[in-house]
Structure 1
Amino acid sequence: MEVVALVSGGKDSCMSMLEWGNDTMGTDELDSFMFQTVGHTVLQSYAQCMGLPLFRHTIRGKALNQDLHYAKTQEDEVESLYVLLKEVKKRFPNVQGVASGAILSDYQRFRVENVCERLGLVSLAYLWQRDQKELLQEMTEVPIDAVLIKVAALGLDPYKHLGKSITALRPLLFRLSDEYGCHPCGEGGEYETLTLDCPLFRYKIVLDETEVVIHSDDQFAQVGYFQIAKHHLEPKADYDASLVSGGEGIVYDVWKELPDELPQCTEAEVAVDAASTTHGELQAAEPLDISLSHGAQAKCRGGEHRRVAAGPTLCRHKG
């Protein structure tokens, strides 16, 4: 099965691609109630890092339909994902599945499934309802080098913890879970991450210029995020060629080729206060890019097929 992966740049989407295997078809990034935006400026480098084509399209519309179960809604931001995946399927008709890093959010999962059903695609959520402590431990052992780029929880200090790796912060994240009920993987909006390196990368991302931006100066739980002004890529001499695509990593700007099917958002504001959103998701009303990447043919490595809740059949492989 040929698969496209939705990516935000965070640890979860990278882990989802690793779960699928070395033949992942591509990657996508989106933000709002539905999508993560902090660190989105680095996403275009994923094409070169992974050697996969990356499709980008400006997010248009807003989160008009905020019901848990999504139905097609004119001018809703989710329709941007539909437009993008439709274009990818047009270019690569063999694509059959869409992999996402959803762990706990039904709000996100139902929307991805809605778009996939309309396009005749299978939604793959390999991380769905995994034990978060176990999953975070597994991510650090892979290893996935992901750093915090947004914090919004008691016990997480923007000036102290932004830019720190999940490996270094794992003991703290586990303690915050035990003491305050925080989600170890940040599923409650406690934090967001950016993956700088993982086994699927042939280059690692290095952040050169960053700035801590305080969004909400709450005395108990400041909300802050990294504004990344500059970064560069460093070649990896020790990457596993069997896991990395040998492609050129071309970036396709879909918005330059499609008609204006949806009205474009013009209000540029990144709202990172998870408490201000109805589902604990990161919101962005900024005209951002969404990206999709298409790679080689994918294979499920001896996995089991199972049905999760009311969702589509998933293929979850072991190892």
Structure 2
Amino acid sequence: MGDLKGKDFFASWSGGKDSCLALYRAIRQGGRPRRLLTMFGDDGEKSKSHALSREIIQAQADALGIPVEIGSASWDDYEARFLEHLAGLKADGLGDGVFGDIDLLPHRQWVEKVCDKHGITPHLPLWQEERRKLVGEFIEAGFVAMIVVVEDKRLDRSFLGRRIDWPTIEALEAAGADACGEEGEYHSLVIDGPLFSSALNLQTGAIVGHGGYSFLETALETEKKN
């Protein structure tokens, strides 16, 4: 893994809290973020897992001041498409990548496998740290995020739209979910924080169910808050 001090890097970016905290830590190590990489579904309309629109991912990138590269893939060809993007990033001189995985070994093994194919060094700043401590660090650092996806069999829809704060974490745990949602219980959308030049001004819409998950539709307001 190694230290990122003084190195240019790209960051895998979902739009959620874990990828954001990993980016935050990498920058605090002295790394220089040059690109965000976000994967969307094969129709190119919504991001994988978090189901965020291109306008929201772009607004996050603009607020962070980091260019974003968006890829499209189905789950069947995800690895092949991801490898294509890694090849391009390496060709652009970005040989270090930051990922927000915490402790799911198959995820780490996959990251290491695909990075190795293009000589990229993967960095997992959150790896094997206590999950509740990580979400606490995210909150205490001043980041603002809300829950936009829940797994129906583990959480009810009342969690959608809730800000990630200590009362929400306690409610998640009381419902039997992991505080960090590392097992897929929920996904989040980061709205503001110390890396953001301005907050995203969002409006929420309908709740849509698909594949055992419930998704809160989100869109940007016509103007962002300063």
Normalising by structure 2, we get a TM-score of 0.83
1:181-223 Cα shifts (integer Å, max 9, x gaps): x32111111101111112111121121242111336xxxxx74
8 Å contact 2:53–2:219 — kept in the other structure? no
1:68-101 Cα shifts (integer Å, max 9, x gaps): xxxxxxxx311211111212222x22x2210011
Counterpart in the other structure of 1:36: 49
Letter in structure 1 aligned against 2:181? G
2: CA distance between counterparts of 1:84 and 1:155?
34
Counterpart in the other structure of 1:192: 187
8 Å contact 1:202–1:235 — kept in the other structure? no
1:144-183 equivalences under 5 Å are: 144-152=143-151, 156-158=155-157, 160-167=158-165, 168-176=167-175, 180=176, 182-183=177-178
Whose helix fraction is larger, Structure 1's or Structure 2's?
A: 2
2: CA distance between counterparts of 1:115 and 1:230?
34
Structure of greater Rg: 1
Normalising by structure 1, we get a TM-score of 0.60
1: CA distance between counterparts of 2:66 and 2:81?
21
The alignment-based identity, stated in percent, is 25
1:100-135 Cα shifts (integer Å, max 9, x gaps): 110122232222211211111110001112111111
1:133-155 Cα shifts (integer Å, max 9, x gaps): 11111111112211000111566
2: CA distance between counterparts of 1:87 and 1:200?
26
| Structure 1 residue 235, shift from structure 2 partner | 5.0
Q: Secondary structure at the match of 1:30?
A: strand
Asked if 1:45 corresponds to 2:59, the answer is yes
2: CA distance between counterparts of 1:121 and 1:230?
34
1:147-170 Cα shifts (integer Å, max 9, x gaps): 000111566321x22111111412
Aligned-residue CA RMSD (Å): 2.3
1:204-246 Cα shifts (integer Å, max 9, x gaps): 1121242111336xxxxx741112244456254xxxxxxxxxx
Q: Secondary structure at the match of 2:201?
A: strand
- Greater RCO between the two (CA within 8 Å, min separation 6)? 1
> Unaligned regions of 5+ residues in structure 2, if any?
1-6, 42-47
> Unaligned regions of 5+ residues in structure 1, if any?
64-75, 217-221, 237-319
Q: Secondary structure at the match of 1:25?
A: strand
Matched pairs, number: 210
